[in-house]
Structure 1
Amino acid sequence: MSVEVRLDQGRLARMLRARGGLAERALARRTGRVADIARREAPGSMGAYIDWKVVSEPTGLRGVITCDHPAVNYVLEGTRPHIIRPRRKKALRFDVGGQTVFAKVVHHPGTKPNNFLGRALRAGR
């Protein structure tokens, strides 16, 4: 007894590439999982600005995760030491250890990069 299996490669490729096909669903699951991890890893309210989608291009499918928070580049790249001055008022106002502090100038030490999107990508594999 013998069994013969014939694959229609064109049909199989169309089924994998089709909108809502196997490849797109698998990529959507993985991209959504990575976006969920990124939301948990993001500092402060930045996670609420994370969104994802699957994009179909001539070269194939691509999972895209975006964060449109205005400070995302500063968090991902970090900042060098810099001076902060008030723009609209005479002084800056902030809390330190439960005390309200006013200052005309702040010498910020800078921040280390926090690549939460990269960590999410590595964790979501």
Structure 2
Amino acid sequence: MSVEVRIDPGVIARTLRLRNGVVARKLAQRTARTAGYAEREAPGRMGAFVSWRVEDNPRGLQGVITCDHPATRFVLDGTRPHLIRPRNKKFLRFEIGGEVVFTKLVRHPGTKPNNFLARALRLGR
């Protein structure tokens, strides 16, 4: 009497990739952990705009972390020195050292790049 066992690689791959599969679960855990690092590394309240998901697409399972804050690109890449002028009013209004300042022009010195997403990826390894 002989016993034959056939292994279907497609079935194994689908089983591993299912939402509750081992690989998908581990990828979700790692992606969530890395997104947590991104939330903590993000400046100001930008961390509240960080979200994550696991996608199953033709290239395979992927963990995706996004930051939907409107200034994300400026934070990641930094900015060159630039002028800030009022758009809807005649003056800009802001506080410096507790004093209210009104001006028609601000010469912003620019900002250094802060790639908090790349730092989170390194920490999440």
Equivalent runs, 1:11-26 vs 2, <5 Å = 11-26=11-26
In the alignment, what sits opposite 1:3? none
Is 1:39 paired with 2:76?
Answer: no
Structure 1 runs not aligned, ≥5 long: 1-5
Q: CA deviation at 1:19?
A: 2.5
Runs (4+) of structure 1 exceeding 4 A deviation are none
Structure 2 runs not aligned, ≥5 long: none
In the alignment, what sits opposite 1:117? 117
Letter of the 1:94 partner, please give it. Answer: F
Q: Give the % identical residues.
A: 62
State the TM-score, normalized to the length of structure 2.
0.90
State the TM-score, normalized to the length of structure 1.
0.90
In the alignment, what sits opposite 2:7? 8
In the alignment, what sits opposite 2:76? 76
Letter of the 1:8 partner, please give it. Answer: I
Q: CA deviation at 1:8?
A: 2.9
Number of residue pairs matched by the alignment:
120
SS for the counterpart of 1:27 is: helix
Superposed CA RMSD in Å reads 1.4
Post-superposition CA distance 1:63-91 (Å, at most 9, x none): 00011101010000100000000001111
Cα distance between partner residues in 2 of 1:91 and 1:18: 57
Q: CA deviation at 1:98?
A: 1.4
SS for the counterpart of 1:112 is: coil
